[in-house]
Copies of this chain bind each other. A is one copy, B any other.
């Protein structure tokens, strides 16, 4: 695809491009909120526009972060999983550790909510993306896009919260950038963080490693983050204050890896919730999944709030929850390790990976019926992260 682009000099780089837009303009003449919602439209944008254009193995792996060695100039090909002991030995000999690199922008509205704020989220989210690659998070960058007129004290609270979250997560914010846009051209503050982590084990954690028989384990109850945000935004009061689950799960993940649990893949349940995360992996790995509604932990107050708001908890975002795809022989031990950790106290086995119906996630409902859990196509909860 790229070879048909004329290689222009930097001077006239953007004057004309001849490739047709890969997203049908007749269907989507403009970017919609749903293109950022983490569901089908987001995935379409990534798969059709970004991946072919920026084509390289790391991006094509469609993982939560890129994995590569610095020093050998090669990005690991996560599609074929071409890494073996020989490869690793060579890398070590050449002085090139295996790194993970990930980024996320945070546009959550409102900036502060029960259980967190945009600052702590901006740390947790990127730390978690690195953890999902099996990496120990080390360093973060922080880029602020501030709307002119943001109260200085608000910025200060957010910066303090970021610093504290970084300290708690064991990462250092080592580089940053501040931009200010004119009033009415932003919304308080947006934050981007990018993170670097190091992979210190031999497992190949990626969608392509998922196998039929793998057990799906979630580290706790789902849906609290999205409901906490919606409650503040809509001015809803429930009997109890529902607090976001926003938290850095890297410590918990590293305990699993240190215990040599065979973790084939992990995915955090952010935009689009558990339903989107499972569908993404099912599609990437070309496997089916079967989960049981009764096994998916949802708190009563979150259930009640979802009913009032007309949401399905499976589609509501979390910020401290992930699903691990674990080899069957290690599932019980993984569950035990999780449950001993504060961020995994309510961990549960929720289903298994199947060889049949590849790309499809099936759920046995409370009443015993089976239904397809599809990826969200519209936008259920805009700007929850």
Contacts and interface: CB of A to CB of B under 8 A. Distances in A.
Interface stretch (A63-71, A206-214, A325-333, A368-376): A63-71
Interface string A1-25: 0100101101111100101011101
A150 interface: yes
- A contact patch SS: mixed
Interface in A235-260: 243, 246-248
A358 interface: no
Contact of A139 (B34, B101, B187): B101
A30 B152 contact: yes
B248 A49 contact: no
Given A23-B152, A42-B178, A152-B29, A172 B54 contact: yes
Contacts of A156: 17, 19, 21-23, 49
Contacts of A246: 10
A325 to B, nearest CB: 21
Contact of A49 (B13, B112, B155): B155
Contacts of A276: none
A150 B31 contact: yes
Contacts of A317: none
A42 to B, nearest CB: 6
Given A42-B178, A164-B13, A141 B102 contact: yes
Contacts of A28: 152
A172 B50 contact: no
B32 A148 contact: yes
A8 B161 CA distance: 10
B196 A143 contact: no
Nearest to A31: B150
Copies in the complex: 2
A186 interface: yes
Contact of A103 (B5, B172, B176, B180): B176
A365 interface: no
A97 B243 CA distance: 42
Nearest to A51: B176
Contacts of A11: 115, 243
Contacts of A141: 66, 101-103, 194
A99 B160 CA distance: 27
A45 B49 CA distance: 37
Contacts of A84: none
Nearest to A185: B187
A35 interface: yes
- The range of chain A's interface size is 35 or more
Interface in A70-118: 70-71, 73, 75, 92-93, 95-97, 99, 101-107, 109, 112, 115-117
Which of A10, A162, A194, A248: most chain B CB closer than 10 A? Answer: A10
Contacts of A75: 139, 172, 174
Interface in A159-193: 159-168, 172-182, 184-187, 190, 192
Contacts of A12: 115
A146 interface: yes
Contacts of A351: none
A340 interface: no
A55 to B, nearest CB: 8
Interface of A: 2, 5, 7-8, 10-14, 17, 19, 21-23, 25, 28-37, 42, 45-46, 49-50, 53-54, 56, 58-59, 65-66, 68, 70-71, 73, 75, 92-93, 95-97, 99, 101-107, 109, 112, 115-117, 119-120, 124, 138-139, 141-153, 155-168, 172-182, 184-187, 190, 192, 194, 196, 198, 243, 246-248, 320, 382-383, 385
